[in-house]
């Protein structure tokens, strides 16, 4: 069962990514090994041509994975990304982007998850990422 709810997760993310705008992401749903985030549209996420930029989507994937891991293990600041693989598939224009992260493995030291990103209201994926996170062993996590 998740140890943190949506509001608690938003607080943890603000601590973990302190340079963000306050409204950069919203947690919409938290389930076992799953979170859904919304990245509200903001002009600073556009690249020339008016589509959501690659780095904005990479960061969204990283935040979604961070949220999914911390939801399950608690607010452990030592959880760090060890790898990210992302494929960009469709352009997203001036819309919110929805990211759904599923944990595929939550081991003793390593978590693996995938993140599907879609333009709000669309079925087709804008981007898909797979990430690995290094996490502290169980005996070093919050109870």
Residue 139: exposed, middle, or buried by beta-carbon count in 10 A (0-12, 13-18, 19+)?
exposed
User: Binding residue for a copy of itself (CB under 8 A) from 19, 22, 23, 139?
Assistant: 19
The site string for a copy of itself over 102-131 (x = CB under 8 A, - otherwise) reads: --xx-x-xx-x-x---------xx--x-x-
Q: How far is the CB of 48 from a copy of itself (least distance, A)?
A: 6
Q: Which of 59, 117, 115 is nearest to 90 (CA)?
A: 117
Window 64 to 93, contacts with a copy of itself (CB under 8 A) = 77, 80-90
Q: 3-class DSSP state for residue 133?
A: strand
Name the helix (H) or strand (E) containing 55: helix 54-73
Q: Rounded to a whole number, what is the largest CA-CA distance in the chain?
A: 49
**Binding to a copy of itself by residue 138, rule CB under 8 A?**
no
User: Binding residue for a copy of itself (CB under 8 A) from 1, 7, 15, 121?
Assistant: 15
Half-sphere exposure of 6 (CA within 13 A, CB side): 11
Which tokens hold the place of 50? 């008016």
Q: How far is the CB of 142 from a copy of itself (least distance, A)?
A: 15
Chain residues that interact with a copy of itself, rule: CB under 8 A:
15-19, 44-45, 47-49, 53-55, 58-59, 62, 77, 80-90, 104-105, 107, 109-110, 112, 114, 124-125, 128, 130, 132
């Amino acid at each position: 069962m998740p140890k943190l709810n949506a509001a608690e997760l938003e607080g943890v993310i603000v601590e973990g990514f302190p340079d963000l705008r306050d409204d950069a992401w919203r947690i919409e749903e938290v389930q076992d090994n799953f979170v859904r985030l919304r990245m509200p549209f903001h002009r600073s996420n556009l690249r020339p041509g008016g589509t959501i930029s690659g780095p904005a989507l990479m960061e969204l994937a990283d935040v979604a994975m961070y949220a999914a891991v911390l939801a399950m293990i608690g607010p452990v600041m030592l959880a760090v990304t060890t790898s990210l693989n992302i494929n960009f598939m469709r352009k997203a224009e001036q819309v919110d982007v929805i990211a759904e992260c599923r944990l595929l493995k939550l081991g003793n030291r390593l978590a693996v998850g995938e993140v599907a990103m879609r333009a709000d209201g669309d079925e087709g994926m804008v981007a898909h990422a797979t990430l690995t996170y290094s996490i502290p062993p169980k005996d070093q996590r919050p109870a």
